[in-house]
Amino acid sequence: MALISRAPLTTSRFAGIAGLVYAASAAIENMGLLEAPTLASPVADVRALYEDQALALVTSLAGALELVAYCVFAVALFGLLRERERTREGWSFLALVGGVAGPVVAASGLAATAVLVADGGAGLGDDAVATVFDLSLTARMLSGGFLALFMAGVGLSALRSGALPSWLAWYACAAALPLAIAPVAAFAAEDAVQVAARIAFSLQALWILLTSFWLALADGSDRVAFVRRCAFLLLVLGAGLVGIALLVVPGATGEFFAWGLGPEPLAAFAGGVYVGSAAVYALALRSEQHDAHGLVVGAVVLSVSVLVITLTHLDQFDFGRLQAWAWVALFGGFSLVTSALLVLGRTAHREATAAEPLAAPVRGVLTLVSVVLGALALALWVDPGALTGPSPFDLPPLGGRFAGSWIALLAVLAGWAALRNRRGEARASLAALIALPAGMLVAALRTLPDLEPGGAAIAYVAAIVFLLATGAVLAGGRGRNRLTVSEAAAQAWRA
């Protein structure tokens, strides 16, 4: 059985994809939300926001993508509502008008922001900077009135037609109320009013994320399968975006990551395993319960261990930044959700039909890989500094233990495949033994000049290549040795 099944692009799935793009781009745009100036902030704070032109450009481009995705989401959702409505009551048209007009109004503010991004806050006078910034923020607040129409229209139409689950419909109606008063913040300089408006926009963004999960992934699945798909997709989006950033700019973790992860080779390593894990969990989004159970086990080990490590190193986090709070909330929530999935999925896992076992050599290699990587992960958790000598870069306590959690993920996946001894379940482990080392190799090559010269660097790269080659050989063998990950990739492409 392949890791992923065919999933036709329906109206609901198209709307869900657009909503997920919106949520991801909104997360990037609002990385500095807690430190962001308000209408009452001094000009110096506004200038500081745009001093880093590269970061300001990234967040502005994310903001533009966010507005486009919002329009697409609104139009697609309008089509879904019209398909389900029994009568033409007009609520869906109200949603369409608000869902398009809101982003258009916000776009005028984004255009004003482009002036500050291009200037870097250096060439314009204080009055000009204040005027342009106030214009951009005012436009965003005024868009809240139209977005309230969108949320109210969607909620009322969904309640009448059943196009969305009732809890999502009621959520939309409730979120419309604070959005309706967001325009007040455009004319009130008090920080409390500004903060309340941002909370209103955040509640709407959360609704779009939850609705997009339902539109893209529900399609008749039971609750456990749906929650598992949501958890996997959240990991794919989060790990994929953060991993790419870590690989591209490993020296800028203080700007976008939860803490200043360093040195650069370690930050790039984290980026590589992030991207690799995103690929693995993406392939498993629509897999059957018994084939995905090993990935759930791995997610529990990863999330719980990272949460424990975080709680023992809280002094390394700046809780004046949104990223620090999001990190703790994400891994805390993910630990609870994946642990619940592990418990709830045991019944379906025990009832799985008999499957073809692994060839003895494959099972033996997977066992050996699990033992070696497990020992390495344990050593990193206990005292990463003790491995700094053999390592081609420094392993600080928090960063080294964080790396140990990713090594533990690979160890658990390999060990699970060997323990279960089923070809179908082993595909996910083989995909991980290819994707994660491939990401590690890209990271090592990306930061090669930053590695300590000598045998440690050579051994580091050689170990990664050996691990990658092991996964590739096991996945590309013959007969019972063949655990073809490419079959899953081919079917994912057809889907």
Q: How far is CA 93 from CA 77, 80, 90, 99, in A?
A: 11, 12, 5, 10
pLDDT score, position 86? 66
Element counts in the chain: helices (H) and strands (E): 18, 0
> Worst-scoring range by mean pLDDT, 33-47, 56-70, 98-112, 361-375?
33-47
Q: What percent of the chain has pLDDT over 90?
A: 54
pLDDT tier for residue 207 given thresholds of 50, 70 and 90: very high
pLDDT tier for residue 57 given thresholds of 50, 70 and 90: confident
Residue 349: Cβ within 10 Å count: 19
At 387-402, the pLDDT tens digits run 877 889 999 999 999 9
DSSP 41: S
CA–CA separation, 139 vs 178, rounded Å?
A: 17
Q: Taking residues 275-296, what's their average pLDDT? A: 88
> Worst-scoring range by mean pLDDT, 237-246, 263-272, 286-295, 351-360?
351-360
pLDDT score, position 495? 40
Position 27 pLDDT exceeds 90: no
**Cβ 83 vs Cβ 51: under 8 Å:** no
At 457-494, the pLDDT tens digits run 999 999 999 999 999 999 876 444 444 444 444 443 34
pLDDT score, position 470? 94
Q: Taking residues 142-148, what's their average pLDDT? A: 94
CA–CA separation, 426 vs 166, rounded Å?
A: 39
Bigger pLDDT: 264 vs 84: 264
Position 159 pLDDT exceeds 70: yes
Position 304 pLDDT exceeds 60: yes
> Worst-scoring range by mean pLDDT, 20-34, 88-102, 186-200?
186-200
What's the 3-state SS for 161-213? HCCCCHHHHHHHHHHHHHHHCHHHHHHCCCHHHHHHHHHHHHHHHHHHHHHHH
At 431-464, the pLDDT tens digits run 999 999 999 999 999 999 998 888 889 999 999 9
Q: What percent of the chain has pLDDT over 70?
A: 90
Q: Taking residues 239-251, what's their average pLDDT? A: 92
**Cβ 335 vs Cβ 277: under 8 Å:** no
**pLDDT, averaged across the chain:** 86
| Residue ranges per structural domain of the chain | 11-217, 223-494
Q: What is the pTM of this model?
A: 0.84
Position 104 pLDDT exceeds 80: yes
Q: Taking residues 59-76, what's their average pLDDT? A: 93
pLDDT tier for residue 351 given thresholds of 50, 70 and 90: low
| Ramachandran region, residue 131 (left: φ > 0; alpha: ψ -120 to 50; beta: rest) | alpha
pLDDT score, position 322? 84
Bigger pLDDT: 324 vs 9: 324
**CB neighbour list of residue 288: distance below 8 Å, 6 or more residues apart:** 1, 424
pLDDT score, position 144? 93
